[in-house]
Structure 1
Amino acid sequence: MTRYVQRLAAFVAGFLLLATLAAGAQGTGSSPASLPGAVSKPAASQGAEAEADTASLDDLIRILENDATRQKLVESLKASAYKAPEQASGEGEAAMPGEALAETLAGRIAASMQMVIDGAIETSKGIADSLMAAVDLASGAESLDLPNLLQTVAPVALVAASVFAALALASLLKRGPIARLSRRAERAGPISKLLLLALATLIDTLAVAGAALVGYVVAVAAFDARPTLNQLLFLNAFLAIESAKIVLRAFASPTRPALRMTPFSDRHARYWFFWFSRVISVLGYTFMFVAPLVQQSSSPRAADAVRFFVVTACALLAIGLILRNRGIVRERLKRAKRNGDTSLRARVHAFIGQIWWALAALFVAALYLVWLRSPEDGLAFMTLATLKTVGAMALGGLVASILARLIVRGVKVPDSVKERLPLFERRLNGFIPSALTVARVLVILAVIATTLEAWSLVSVSDWMATERGQRWVGGLIGAMIVVAIGFAVYVAISSWVEYRLNPKFGRVPTSRERTLLSLFRNAFTIAMIVVVSMLVLSQIGINIAPLLAGAGVIGLAVGFGSQKLVQDIITGAFIQIQNAMNEGDIVELNGISGTVEQLTVRSVGLRTVEGTWYLIPFSSVDRVANFSKDFAYYVADVAVAYRESIDEVKVMMREAFDELRATEVGQNIIGEFDLWGVQELANSAIIVRGRMMTKPSTQWAVGRAYREIVKRMSDERGIELPFPHMTVWFGEDKRGNAPPIHLTPPEPAAVPSPAPAPQTAPAGLPPRGPAAPGAPGAGEDFGLLDARGRLIPPSRSDLDEAEDGPDAAGRT
């Protein structure tokens, strides 16, 4: 119970605050005529004031025409001018304690509380007056004359029936075109979908206009005269209500999911469109058709009663819908935060999800009470402010949604453009999403400003009309234009350089052109960033003269403090002037050989054959060895054995060159083979040298192919290509005889077998000793003893026993 009491108290407090703000908004403005609920003076009093002003002007003219009276007027004005400061100072001294008290924190808090209390009291009185007005409006229902009302409505019934029949027929006819637009929208982008939605809205508008035209024709044809006032009231109400429904249908697209630009599900879109369209129809036909008919047929009090009951029912219905769907909307707004999104947007949505229903209910209640207090001016103000707010939010939300989709989707360029400009799409997607994000923020700010001005809280248009506002807005627009033009120029220059460097289109660029164009692009990018930054600062009102002076001083300091950097730039400039190397060249710098992949104003990037990338500043480069300058040579050194004929080797080398020229690699050879002859008598080979001129950077491929052919021909012709080997010498005696060396392959290791059981000599035979060395058949005699005195069988030898080891006797 306490929870519901707290909610009710919060609702009442918020309602009082909202009503106070609404009353304050009505009390601010430039002219009373523009304010809702402003009380205008009677015409008689206004005429009296005008006559009094005219009389005063006549008296002043007569005083100024007479010299004496004019002199007295001047003297009195001088006297008043001298006395005014004294009176003002006296009043200031008297007011000092009160002003000092008001400037303190306690005084400000007290003044704020007093303002809130006064506003609450005024709002309470307004609510009471509104309730009394409601009772007065309801009492007018007694004067309702139903028979006369039905008689008044009868001539309009035929027109209404024809209008709704024509609208139903138009709805059937437009299904086909709308369905085709929906099918096309399923595979269309945001801009294309928006255009298709505009076409569908145009079809809906034509259908409504056609139905209204049918009603007008029926009214003229059926009554043989111009349409009556009541018929025109109905046609006007029909056009206004159906136009509002067209806007609502374009926003929600309940039956056209493919054309929907808002984040509604199909069920929610149909649900909210159903109820909003009913409320619009009821309120529209009541205020624009039914109430005027009741006033005409019965009385103004009866018309007021009809309006009161209809508005009360619609307000209760709106509050009921809000309370019924508060949980669904809350869960939808908290979905991102619940899924783990911790961004500011997710937190704001979650907070709004908690309180949206209270704000919406308070708004409906405030709108209802303002209508009760001032059915014409107050309702007109809040209705206009509401329409402006909803329109701004709808349009801003649509634009922001389209921009968000474009940011996520990016920019796609045709394949033909990608072939010519491979980096064009990446450059666009590097800038356009950021620019669209800025535009999205500006759209949100514009929606907020429009909402504040619609409710007379902040006058943004008045601020923009001032000199300061125009300067800020003009500077912002100018800065955006400068950035856009700068980016367009950068993309144009970079794309031109990229097109010139593309070997697939146009003339193939040389390495020199690639180097200079790359350096130009880098230097132009830096210069463009500096110039655009200065122009942007100048547009937003910052004086760039001190910045330029400071930049000069900083540049001078950097020049003295970073001499290595200056040396890098100067050395790099001279290297480029002398055309020492270009991108794609194979060079050697500081003992590192590789391909030049990147050249800037202060460094060079090398890629070695192993894939290692080196960044070498120009200040550390003392010499440059370029292997790709104009042409190259491959020096062929063929080593043969001393026993080979040099003439045969030369013939083989020439034939190998001729065969090489016939291959695909041979297309890189320039000129004939220059055979020099014997270059060196090495330790174990004769070096025969030849040389051939090749295109730049192809000497290594030519050399590899030539060596393969020489190896194959030498094998075919029996020409020995020596290889490293070693000769072992055992020495010789004085007579020149060297001891013979017999090399035999090693015998396979014998597999040990189990030792036989010990045997004893036959009885009567004395034991025999070991046989003499070299005695025949010694190894075959039975009864030989080993070193331990054991018998050796004929199938084994001393070596076998020795290999068996000390424990051979145990393996029996």
Structure 2
Amino acid sequence: MMVAAIFFAQVSPVAAQSSTAAANASDTASPQEGSEPSLDDLISILENEETRAKLLESLKAAAYQAPEEGGEDGALLDAPDPDRTLPARIAEGVRSFIGSIGETGSEVLASVRSSGNLLSGAGSLDIPAILEAVLPVGLVAIVVFFVLGLGRLVKAPIFRSLAETSEHASPLNKLLLLALSGFIDALSIVLSWAAGVVAASVFANGQPGFNQQLFLNAFLVIEMIKVSLGLFVSPNYPGLRLTPFSNRQASYWYFWLSRFISILGYTFLFVAPVIRSATTVQAADATRFIVVVICVLIGISLILKNRGTVRERLKRAKKEGDRSVGAHINAFIGQIWWVVAIGFVLAAFIVWLRSPEEGLSFLTIGTLKTIAAMAVGGLIVSVLSRWITSGIPIPESVKDKLPLLEKRVNSFIPNALTVIRVFVVIAVLAYVLEAWTLASYSTWLASDMGQSIVGGLIGAGIILVIGVAIYIAVSSWIEYRLNPNYGTIPTARERTLLSLFRNAFTITMVVVVAMLVLSQVGIDIAPLLAGAGVVGLAIGFGAQKFVQDIITGAFIQIQNAMNEGDIVEVNGVTGTVEQLTVRSVGLRTIDGTWCLIPFSSVDQVANYSKDFAYYVADIGVAYREDTADVEAMMVDAFEELKTTAVADNLIGNMEMWGVQELGDSAVVMRGRVMTKPGTQWGVGRAYRGIIKRMADERGIEIPFPHMTVWFGEDRKGNAPPIRMTDPETSAPKIEAERADRLQPQGAAPSSSTDYGTSDVGGKTIPPGGGDVDAAGPGRG
């Protein structure tokens, strides 16, 4: 049917001219006018030679004939071709730009002509009639501004008190104080307006007059706008100011902006309506035009006057060495801000001239939305910036229990606040663009794509916040549990298990939160989970040692073979356990060497800090000594040991076992004493020192290997003489020196050392190679 319609449209004039001949020749007739073409009509036309020839001629003519302007074919030819070349597209864009410039110029010329028409109505101003209309309003205005002045006197001490309180307050409390000051300020405006309503009712003996009500409405709107402006800059009370303005800048800009608001507000909301009702519409338009032109000129002069000041302030951060993106953007804005500001003022003036009613409404609504968005966004960004800079303070009582909480919180919160600040700036820009109808983000948000993206981002943010909160809570609880100053003192096993739990929980939390965030932003995590399973299987086959480390470490932890702070021997390395994970153990030896040993290589663990320990004393004496005397000396040495600094490490009494070994050159006597775990080496060093001193005092010989010295002989068989000191003169001197070194029998050593049991930090000192009893063959 479509093909028949197309062909019939082309050939219908021909068919109409030869309808009679065609009907006689082939018993066909052209379709009646207004009837729908059909395939039968097309067939009848093609069967006739004359009509077929005319059809071909018409088609050839149509192929080389330009379409009429405005027709469907013309619209198709004017439509942009997606296959056009880049130069063609550039030419089209330049042509459109030049056309828009021409249209703008035409609108400017039309605006100039409109301004002339508006100014022509100034001659119709009737000053006496205007004064007569305004005079009843004057009494109401006096009452309103008198009450407003009294309110300012009452508000001043309240605002000073709020400003002093906010100087040492947190950003949130300062924001609440600022909101309270705004509420008080707005309340004073409402009371002044109410006083004016009462005064107007009294003067008019009933309801206020029309002009009086115009003034009261204008007063309420204008002063409320000033209250919002005052909240933004706080010119008189810097303690309440959240924006980065100095006192001079805040007072300067508040003065001029409030004057602009008052002049334009009272002109459009009060003066112009009064002039319109008292004289003519042209006079009211002329009054508005004159006032707007004066404000435009004053605004441009203020922009030019402050061009350098604002530029230097915006470039200050970059000059001070800040190389961030924000500093570069501010510096660039500082160079062009005055051009943009003047352009905005002139554009607003032209829009108002082109459409005084709708243009005024559009400009007013757009400006108020822009100011409100920038004020609210600026306050939020300012509060967030202060929090980012100063951090979140933690009370001292909480810091004592959780020393790392403040550091942990301030490592997450500033980053989150920075992200929120970026979103606030984006939201403000989007709202401003939509207020001036430059973009329609509300429509995009209402679409499925917008809701999906925004919902995904909000969901991801909520998940991140919840995840960070759970991590901080669990980490803080573990930190509190490990703090020995509060609650019950944790055991070594608890410290080890809590440290392992914290590491495992952190890894699990990161993985779960990452998966949930990816799912919220629209990424399918099913392939990731499948890929993780395959990768885990591959790692399981390729990293058997790693798996063995984990399995062996898990069983070691289950059996409580070692904990952090224990002194152990692992793979021939003896030291203090400083790091213990499910895969490896880190030991610190006596000489400070840190050794990392994977559990897959561990076949034996010797723990010297498990529950208790024994010091085994093997004392070797000469064969000629009486064993009873030696046992008495060992018992006496132990009694003296209980008076030394290591007495707190002793658990039980001395166990004397008697003769342990008949060696080559000594009889070995053995005794044993129970000590606290990890202190047996310090106890042994103290005990051996006492034994050495008592053996010397009691004349009990402790044998040692001997060596014979041969001085040689000459050819005659004579040995060289040996030079020795006279025993009669040297013996007294040696005995005196020995008496000075030795303390009286039974006296405790004067040193308060623990004989190497712990270091200055209170940590247990691991033993050396000679300290471990099983390492040596001989004596204690």
TM-score by length of 1: 0.77
| Structure 1 Cα separation of the partners of residues 601 and 570 of structure 2 | 9
Does the alignment pair 1:173 with 2:150?
no
Aligned to 1:595, what secondary structure does the other structure show?
strand
Q: Is the alpha carbon distance of 1:622 and 1:221 closer, same or farther for their aligned partners in structure 2, counting shifts above 3 Å?
A: same
Which one of the candidate residues 227, 237, 241 is aligned to 1:260?
A: 241
Match of 2:326 in 1: 345
Query: How much does 1:484 deviate?
Result: 1.6
Answer yes or no: is 1:518 the counterpart of 2:499: yes
C-alpha offsets along residues 682-741 of structure 1, whole Å, 9 cap, x if unaligned?
6766543321112222222322333344455456555565678765455899xxx99874
Change in CA separation of 1:724 and 1:268 when aligned onto 2, cut-off 3 Å: farther
Say if 1:371 and 1:378, in contact at 8 Å, map to a contact too: yes
| Secondary structure at 1:615 match in 2 | strand
Looking at structure 1, the residues matched to 154 and 74 of structure 2 have their Cα atoms a distance apart, in angstroms, of 82
Mapped to 1, the partners of 2:37 and 2:414 lie a distance apart of 67
**In structure 1, what is the equivalent of residue 277 of structure 2?**
296
Residue 415 of structure 2 is aligned to residue 397 of structure 1: no
- Asked which structure has the greater CA Rg, the reply is 1
**2:490 match:** 509
8 Å CA contact retained: 1:162, 1:214: yes
Amino acid at match of 1:326: R
Distance 1:670 1:241, change over 3 A: same
Other-structure match for 2:416? 435
SS state at 2:681 partner: helix
Looking at structure 2, the residues matched to 560 and 704 of structure 1 have their Cα atoms a distance apart, in angstroms, of: 51
Q: Is 1:612 equivalent to 2:593 in the alignment? A: yes
1:479-494 matches, cutoff 5 A: 479-494=460-475
Q: Is 1:127 equivalent to 2:108 in the alignment?
A: yes
Is 1:269–2:226 an aligned residue pair? no
**Residue correspondence of structure 1 range 656-735 to structure 2 within 5 A:** 656-661=637-642, 665-680=646-661, 686-711=667-692, 713-714=694-695, 717=698, 719=700, 728=709
Whether 1:227 and 2:208 are equivalent positions in the alignment is: yes
Q: Secondary structure at the match of 1:743?
A: coil
Letter in 1 for 2:459: G
C-alpha deviation, 1:467, in angstroms: 1.1
C-alpha distance in structure 2 between counterparts of 1:723 and 1:236, whole Å: 114
Q: State the distance in 2 between where 1:668 and 1:712 align.
A: 22
Quote the offset at 1:232 in angstroms. 1.4
Is the CA contact 1:139–1:305 (under 8 Å) kept in the aligned structure 2? yes
| Aligned: 1:306 with 2:287 | yes
Percent identity over the alignment?
A: 60
Question: Alpha-carbon deviation of 1:493?
Answer: 2.3
* Residue identity matched to 2:568: V
Per-residue deviation, 1:565: 1.4
Correspondence 1:325-724 to 2 at 5 A? 325-640=306-621, 645-661=626-642, 665-680=646-661, 686-711=667-692, 713-714=694-695, 717=698, 719=700
- State which drifts further: 318-327 or 142-151: 142-151
Q: 1:610 to 1:258 in 2, by over 3 A?
A: farther
Which residue does the alignment assign to 1:116?
97
Q: Deviations over 1:71-107 (max 9, x none)?
A: x9xx96999xx9xxxx9x9978995797548733233
1:151 aligns with 2:132: yes
Q: Does structure 1 residue 205 correspond to structure 2 residue 186? A: yes
- Partner deviation per Cα, 1:567-620 (whole Å, 9 max, x = no partner): 211221222222221122111222222211222121112222333322222122
In the alignment, residue 104 of structure 1 is paired with which amino acid?
Answer: T
Q: Secondary structure at the match of 1:103?
A: coil
Aligned to 1:30: none
**102-111 or 583-592, larger mean C-alpha shift:** 102-111
Q: Which among 164, 167, 170 is matched to residue 186 of structure 1? A: 167
Relative to 1, partners in 2 of residues 1:490 and 1:680: Cα closer, same or farther, differing over 3 Å? same
User: Any conservation in 2 of the 1:102–1:108 contact (CA below 8 Å)?
Assistant: no
Question: Residue 551 of structure 1: CA displacement?
Answer: 0.7
Aligned residues: 663
Taking structure 2 as the reference length, the TM-score comes to 0.80
Q: Helix, strand or coil: the match of 2:652?
A: strand
Structure 1: distance between partners of 2:488 and 2:280: 90
1:431 to partner: Cα distance: 1.6
Offset at residue 324 of structure 1 (A) = 0.6
When the two chains are superposed, the root-mean-square deviation of aligned CA atoms in Å is 3.0
Q: Determine the C-alpha separation between the residues in 2 that align with 1:300 and 1:507.
A: 87
- Identify if the C-alpha distance between structure 1 residues 470 and 94 changes in structure 2 by more than 3 Å, giving closer, same or farther: closer
Instruction: Say if 1:654 and 1:324 are closer, same or farther in 2 by CA, change over 3 A.
Output: same
Q: Which runs of 5+ in 2 are unaligned?
A: 1-31, 43-58, 727-780
Quote the Cα distance in structure 2 between the aligned partners of 1:186 and 1:97: 67
Partners of 2:102 and 2:244 in 1: how far apart?
42
**2: CA distance between counterparts of 1:155 and 1:77?**
79
Shift of 1:461: 0.8
Distance of 1:433 and 1:103 partners within structure 2? 51
Give SS of 2:394's match.
coil
Matches of 1:392 and 1:340, distance apart in 2: 31
3-state secondary structure, aligned to 1:541? coil
Aligned equivalents of 1:99, 1:349: Cα separation in 2: 40
Check whether the contact 1:587–1:596 (CA below 8 A) recurs between aligned residues: yes
Q: Cα 1:487–1:99, aligned 2, differ >3 Å: closer, same or farther?
A: closer
Equivalent residue of 1:670, what SS? coil
Pick which of 137-146 and 352-361 moved more.
137-146
Q: Deviations over 1:163-205 (max 9, x none)?
A: 1111111111111111111111111121111111111111211
Q: What secondary structure, in the 3-state scheme, does the structure 2 residue paired with 1:689 have?
A: strand
1:625 match: secondary structure:
strand
Secondary structure (helix, strand or coil) at the match of 1:616 reads strand
User: For the residues of structure 2 that align with 1:727 and 1:650, how far apart are their CA atoms?
Assistant: 32
Closer/same/farther in 2, CA of residues 316 and 97 from structure 1, 3 Å limit: closer
Structure 1 distance, partners of 2:621, 2:632, is: 13
Report deviation, 1:325. Answer: 0.5
Hey, what does 1:4 align to over in structure 2? none
Distance 1:611 1:359, change over 3 A: same
Q: Structure 1 pair 719/144, CA: closer, same or farther in 2 (3 Å)?
A: farther
Residue of 155, 161, 164 corresponding to 2:142: 161
CA distance in 2: counterparts of 1:732 and 1:119, whole angstroms? 126
* CA distance in structure 2 between the aligned counterparts of 1:487 and 1:612, rounded to whole angstroms: 37
Supply the distance in 1 between the matched residues of 2:127 and 2:152 (Cα, whole angstroms). 34
Per-residue Cα deviation, 1:457-496 (whole angstroms, up to 9, x for no partner): 2211111111111111111111111112222222222222
